[in-house]
Amino acid sequence: MNKDERDTKFLGFAKLLADELLPYDGYQFGTDSIRLIAQRAYDLAYHILIHETMDVEAEDYRSIDEVMARDIPDLTAWPPTMAE
């Protein structure tokens, strides 16, 4: 697992979530809080990939780190069905 990528890969998602949570408690999320949310989003995606890629055939196999780096973008806007 790449620590730098873990800290930054899902910063857009973390900011969206922090902005959405703000009205509930009035707490202002700082850089450390947003980074923690981003890290946990990365950890969740990594966990899902560990379990999703266990049955991939050898010729199609790519490491989880490679999939995380190349195939999974940050979530910088809520999908229309999730924001409603």
What is the model's pLDDT at position 57? 60
Stretch among 10-14, 45-49, 54-58 having the lowest mean pLDDT: 54-58
Structure-derived torsion over alpha carbons of residues 44, 34, 10, 64, reported in degrees to the nearest 10:
-40
44: confidence class by pLDDT, cuts 50, 70, 90: confident
What is the model's pLDDT at position 83? 44
Structure-derived torsion over alpha carbons of residues 77, 69, 43, 28, reported in degrees to the nearest 10:
-40
pTM above 0.95, yes or no: no
pLDDT digits (tens, 9 = 90+) for 19-36: 888 777 667 778 888 888
